Chain A
C-alpha cells in the first residue's frame, strides 16, 4: 500500500499570508494526486487533481505542484474561508488502491 504523509499536521497562518502544505508518497505516484479541502460538518471539496489542475470553480490562489513522491499545495493569500483541513489522495495504483494522507489543519494565527 502506498502511504501518504502530510506535513505539517497543523499550520498557523495569518489572513493574507501564503500557506505551503506538503504531501509525500512512500513510492512514486507520478502525477496521480488530488487535494481536498474539508471544513467541519461540510462535504469535502476537490481542489486539485492530476497534481496541478484546479477543479472547476476553484480560485486561482490555490495551486498544486510536484510529481513522483513530493507534492505541494500552495494557497497564495489566505482568505478567512480557507481555514480548514486539507487532504491529499493518490490514485496511481488504481485499481484497486486509493489512499489519503492524514491531513493538514490550516488554522488562524
Chain B
C-alpha cells in the first residue's frame, strides 16, 4: 500500500534552513514511472507547488522559490528531501509531499499525497 509520510522540525528560526523528509513506502522512488515533489499551504491560503524531480532525469522548481530550494533523494532509505534556506515567517505552512505519474508531456498532476506537516518559522 502506497504511503507518503513527511517528517522534520515543526519550528524553524528566521534566516535558517527548513529541512523536511518524505518517506515513501509501497513503491520505489527510483521507479521511472513517477515524479516526486513538494507542495505547501500557508495558514488560511491556497496551495503552492514548490518543486518536483524525476529520479532518472530532471528537477523542476517553482520560479518564485528556485533560488532557495533544493530537492534531494536517498534511495537507500526510499526518501526524498526538501531544503528551503533563508526562511521568513512567510514560509510558515503545511508542507505536503506528493507523487506525479509520468504521462503525456503536458500532464502534471498529483495522484497521491502525504498528510502534510506544519512548519512554523518563528524566533
Contacts and interface: CB of A to CB of B under 8 A. Distances in A.
Interface stretch (B23-31, B81-89, B106-114): B106-114
Q: Chain A contact residues: over half helix, strand or loop, or mixed?
A: loop
Contacts of A102: 45-46
A98 interface: yes
Contact of B108 (A36, A42, A56, A91): A91
A104 B114 CA distance: 21
Interface stretch (A14-22, A44-52, A65-73, A74-82): A44-52
A50 B109 CA distance: 9
Nearest to B4: A43
Q: Chain B contact residues: over half helix, strand or loop, or mixed?
A: loop
Contacts of A55: 111
Contact of A43 (B49, B62, B116): B116
Interface residues of A, number: 28
B109 A46 contact: yes
A99 interface: yes
Given A49-B107, A92-B106, A94-B108, 11 more contacts: A32-B106, A34-B109, A55-B111, A87-B46, A89-B110, A96-B60, A96-B61, A96-B63, A99-B49, A100-B48, A103-B47
Interface residues of B, number: 24
Contacts of B45: 102
17 contacts: A30-B106, A43-B96, A43-B112, A44-B98, A45-B113, A55-B111, A87-B46, A92-B106, A95-B58, A95-B108, A96-B61, A96-B62, A97-B62, A97-B63, A98-B49, A100-B46, A100-B48
A41 interface: yes
Contacts of B111: 46, 49, 55-56
Interface of B: 4, 45-49, 58, 60-63, 96, 98, 106-116
A3 to B, nearest CB: 11
Contacts of B110: 34, 36, 44, 46, 89
Interface in A1-28: none
